[in-house]
Amino acid sequence: MYNSKITGLGYYVPDNVVKNDDLKEFMETSDEWIQERTGIKERRWIDPKSGDTTAVMGAKASRIAIERAGLTKDDIDFIVFATLSPDMYFPGGGVQIQEMLEMPTIGALDVRNQCSGFIYAMSVADQFIKTGMYKNILVIGAENHSGGLEKSTRGRNVSVIFGDGAGAAVLSRSEEAGKGILSSHLHSEGKHAKELALIGPSTKRWVPEIIEANDPDDVSYYPYMNGQFVFKHAIGRFSEAIVEGLEANKLQKEDIDMLIPHQANLRIAQFIQKKFQLSDDKVYNNIMKYGNTTAASVIIALTEAWEKGKIKDNDLVVLAAFGSGFTWGSVIIRW
C-alpha cells in the first residue's frame, strides 16, 4: 500500500479587511466584546465587485498549491472540494475548479462537512492514494460566509465570527515508509445537528414558501449557533480526536511538533493547548486575522505555518476540527 504526502500548499483570502470596529456600521458591538468572546480582531469579507466567489478563491489557492508541488494541472488525477457555501445549490464547486483550471475530465467530489470539511476531504483523498487509484489529488477548502450572514444586532453572535477564504493542498503518492499521512479519524453525532445549522431554504421548505410567508421573524435562512452548547462539545471532541490519532500511531502528546486546530474560537484552541501541555510554538492560530473560515480554516492555517518555517521535515503535525453536524476528526501527519 502506498502513502500519501502533502507536496504543495496554497491559500487565498480576499483583500477586503473588516475590523471589529467596522461592524458597528451594521450592529451594536465593540472590538472588546468580540475579542473577549472569540479572540477575533478582523476577518476578510469578499468585496462584491472583486469577482471572488467560493470557487474562484478555491481556484486561486489551487494554482499556488499545484505550482509549489512542482506539478501542472494535467498532473492532477482527482479533486476533492470541501465547502458549506458553494456558488450554486448544485452542481458543487469541484466541477467549477475542473473548468476554471482547464483540467482534463478528471473526477470531482464535493464534501459537505462544514468545519470538519477539510479533515474529511483529506481522509477521502488519502484513501484514494493509499489504494493506488490516484497519484495526485487536489484537496480544497473554501468558504464565502459574508454573502449569507445576518449583518445586524440580531445576528451578531454568528456574523462577527465568520470570514471568507480558501486553501488547497496537493496530496501525492509516496513510497517513503513512515512519512505523510499516518492516519485519519472521523466521527459524527447527528442528534445535535440543529445546534449549529442553516435550516432553509431546503427542499423541505423552498424559496417560494419563505417569500409567501413574509415573516420578518423567520431567520431559518441565516446560520444559527447555540454557542455555549457548541463550545462545550467542541472542547471534548477536539481532545478525543487528537488522543485517538496519537494512540492509533503509538504516540504521546509530547511527540506533537505542531497542532493545527480548526479556527472556531481562540478560547477553544487555548483550552486544548493547555490540556495537552503544548508550548506556544507548537500550536498555530490565525483566527485573530481571518475569523472562522470553516472548511478553509485548517488548510489556511497549515499553509501559513508552513510558509513561516514552523513545520519542518519529520515533524509530527496534527490537524483537528469540530463543527456542524456535529462532525469532528483528526489527521496525523509525519511531515
Contact between 262 and 252 (Cβ < 8 Å):
no
Question: Locate cell 483570502: which residue?
Answer: 13
Preceding peptide of 201 cis, ω within 30°: yes
Q: Are 166 and 60 in contact (CB under 8 A)?
A: yes
Catalytic residue list contains 292: yes
Grid coordinates standing for 138? 487536489
Distance CA 152, CA 25 (A): 9
Catalytic-role residue among 3, 20, 113, 115: 115
Instruction: Choose, from 20, 262, 265, 286, the residue flagged as catalytic.
Output: 262
C-alpha closest to that of 95 among 104, 236, 40, 223: 104
In this structure, are strands 224-225 and 78-82 parallel, antiparallel, or unpaired?
Answer: unpaired
Alpha-helix residue ranges (DSSP H) falling in 215-315 = 227-248, 266-275, 287-290, 297-307
The verdict on whether 115 is a catalytic residue reads yes
Choosing from 3, 144, 265, 292, which is the catalytic residue?
292
The verdict on whether 192 is a catalytic residue reads no
8 A C-beta contact, residue 196 and residue 224: yes
Annotated catalytic residues are: 115, 262, 292
